[in-house]
Structure 1
Amino acid sequence: MRLTSFSAKLMRWITLSSSGLLFVFSIYITLIDSQVVFLDLLVLFTPYLVGLNFILGFGYALIRSKLLFIPLMALVLWFLVLGPFLVFTTGDENKSPEDISILSYNVMEFIGNYRDRPSDIQDKILDFVSAQDADILCFQEFASTRVSREKLSSYPYNFVYSPRGDKRFAPLSIFSRYPIISSGALDFENTLNNTIYVDVLVNADTLRIYNVHLQSMRIRPGSIKRENPINLYNRLGNTIERQKKQAGQILEHSRDVAHPVVFCGDFNNTQYSKVYRILKEDKEDSFLESGNGLGNTLLFKFLPFRIDYVLVDEELEISGHQNFDIRLSDHTPIKATFRFQNP
């Protein structure tokens, strides 16, 4: 009897804690402007917290317990306020010649991922990219080499930007089959992370593309164990604060653009972060609209992190999204397809 009583109390504590955290996350991310580093880090694990609440709710439903309503209310709030992380869509079966495709890929300077660094990694990445036949390519952590220039020669227009003036060191680059009529960079302070942009001419329409690479977390498999916990906590808090500042800078810059805008690239944070919500604002997320599964893009052991995105203005209609399980970098590429809305 004592064990049963203890187990019941433990389950109630787990239920109240997990559901309470989900409530707190929903309120913190959407309504509170101030930064709480502890919560900013915990929200990275929102999918697991949602899963726990589903399991608890299902268990309470089986035994017909009134406690069912606690995780149920937390899940309803999560879904309505923060949105799902697991999606199943059919996409748009009616492909149009007016579709515009964009592929975003953090290629890690063509050196491979943390487990496998073959000598022909650059050829493999660029051959994969060429096979996707996207209209626009946005690379993060790019390296401009003879091989990359040759294999991307089918893209007549490009903006290969280097803050150091050395084209071989080009962390952000955009290649396009559409004419680039203007370009520029935001040049974030005191960092190699950056955002560049181009205006491309698509028939009679103009489209602004921002290639985004927000401040890196610099978390690598095994590195967390080696770093002092207090230093790690402070460093990640500072990184998230810088990401929010950079995201705000991008958003403010885009407000003066008179034509439709696309944000794509490596945001270095999840869809449950304030960073993502700053950039998403009223834009559509190609994965949530036309993707399937978890959509994770960062290879980090067993944790599914989706930190690469394509966000488009409402004037654009998303017609497709693809995630690729190709492990040639620490990120996996994404491809989105969209078109201008009919007037």
Structure 2
Amino acid sequence: MLFLNVIVAFSLFLACIVPYTSSASLAFISLTVPALVLINMLFFLYWLIGKRIYLLLSLSILVFGYFTLGSFIAFNGRSNNIADSETLSLMTYNVLGFHSKNHEDWDYNTSSEVFSFIQEQNPEIICLQEFDQMRIKKGVLKNYPFVSKRYNQENVQGGKNLAIYSKYKIVNNGKLEFPDTYNGGLFVDLVVKNDTIRVFNLHMESFGVRPYSIKYERSDRLFVRLRDSFAKQQKQALIVKQHIDNSPYKVIVAGDFNNTQFSKSYFDVRGDLNDSFLEGGHGYGETIKFWKFPFRIDMLLIDRSFDVLSHKNYNLNLSDHEPIMATFKLSGE
């Protein structure tokens, strides 16, 4: 039991140093952080009723992990999305090209259900990833007069197909180019109240792994593909970080990061920004399930001068991802 405890404690220690190393081969361990935390907690309880001196092993690594990585569970109260003249709401959603998440029913068009949901929630800004212009009806979201899209019909994987809908005027827009990939980013500058805000919509490198196909893939090839995806994400994160640092305005970063909050790419992009889930969410914050394991890979990062009032995770069950929305209060500056 002690030997097993040493293995999982050391694994969690490795996961804690992932955000501070560029080793793509080590990065996959960050995906297992919640499981490693749970197992170490069980070992702590086991030694608590046995040889108590051994409980220090798991206790020390759990404390180290908390201060290094932070918590994957948010304990904020359930705030209400109360809109007023000083608040702003933003939703981000990977819509899977408006296809059904069920492989057997792939051609089913979910766009009408997706847009009905958006109209009901009524966010002021919407960031969509894997956006398929060809599968939506003309004139949808008429109450969002300002739109910026990045769409290439030949890009069948949809990683660069992005859209931002806004109730506020878009005065500038641009693209983030990621090399050697189908993925990319889009940004817009919005005139909001008496300020200008830059909103980034990202779709970072995908692992390209589907639950229904993973059983047919050799483990060594899967590891190499995951390693290459982690390496690309780290390069993309540095590009995003440079855009954030060069922004003349306060920024909001939304999108599908295709990795968890324990990854180096997340740490690099987040920098000094606030994570809306950690500031205003509650619970686990799941945005996707893979083999029934929940992960939080869709993020909403907000300038520290904005006060996060609420963060909500939805269970819409249309895409393989779930939408998230945050409401925050603008600074008085």
In structure 2, the residue matched to 1:101 is 89
Question: Would the alpha carbon gap of residues 114 and 96 (structure 1) be closer, same or farther in structure 2, given more than 3 Å must change?
Answer: closer
- CA offsets, 1:157-189, max 9 Å, x none? 0001125699xx771000000000000101222
What do you get for the CA RMSD once the two structures are aligned? Answer: 2.0
Alignment equivalent of 2:304, drawn from 314, 326, 342: 314
- CA offsets, 1:188-240, max 9 Å, x none? 22322110000000121011000000011111003222112222111111111
2:193 is the alignment partner of 1:203: yes
* Unpaired stretches in structure 1, ≥5 consecutive residues: 1-10
The alignment's TM-score, normalised by the length of structure 2, stands at 0.93
Equivalent-residue separation in structure 1 for 2:323 and 2:24 (angstroms): 31
Q: How many positions carry a matched residue from both structures?
A: 328
Alignment equivalent of 2:260, drawn from 260, 270, 277: 270
Deviation at 1:315, TM superposition (A): 1.6
Matched AA of 1:54: M
Equivalent-residue separation in structure 2 for 1:335 and 1:208 (angstroms): 17
Equivalent-residue separation in structure 1 for 2:126 and 2:137 (angstroms): 13
Aligned-pair identity (%):
34
In structure 2, the residue matched to 1:258 is 248
Larger Rg: 1
What does 1:62-141 align with in structure 2 at a 5 Å threshold? 62-63=49-50, 65-92=52-79, 95=82, 97=84, 98-114=86-102, 117=106, 119-141=108-130
2:280 is the alignment partner of 1:290: yes
Equivalent-residue separation in structure 1 for 2:40 and 2:289 (angstroms): 25
2:122 is the alignment partner of 1:144: no
Deviation at 1:29, TM superposition (A): 2.4
In the alignment, is the contact (CA less than 8 A) between 2:183 and 2:203 conserved in 1? yes
In the alignment, is the contact (CA less than 8 A) between 1:126 and 1:148 conserved in 2? no
In structure 1, the residue matched to 2:150 is 161
Equivalent-residue separation in structure 2 for 1:119 and 1:36 (angstroms): 37
Q: Secondary structure in 2 aligned to 1:222? A: coil
In the alignment, is the contact (CA less than 8 A) between 1:299 and 1:332 conserved in 2? no
Greater relative contact order (Cα 8 A, min sep 6): structure 1 or 2? 2
- CA offsets, 1:54-80, max 9 Å, x none? 111122223361111110001000111
Equivalent-residue separation in structure 1 for 2:81 and 2:223 (angstroms): 48
Q: Secondary structure in 2 aligned to 1:100? A: strand
- CA offsets, 1:6-52, max 9 Å, x none? xxxxx10111111111122213323x3x3141x21122011000000
The alignment's TM-score, normalised by the length of structure 1, stands at 0.90
The range that moved more, 291-300 or 193-202, is: 291-300
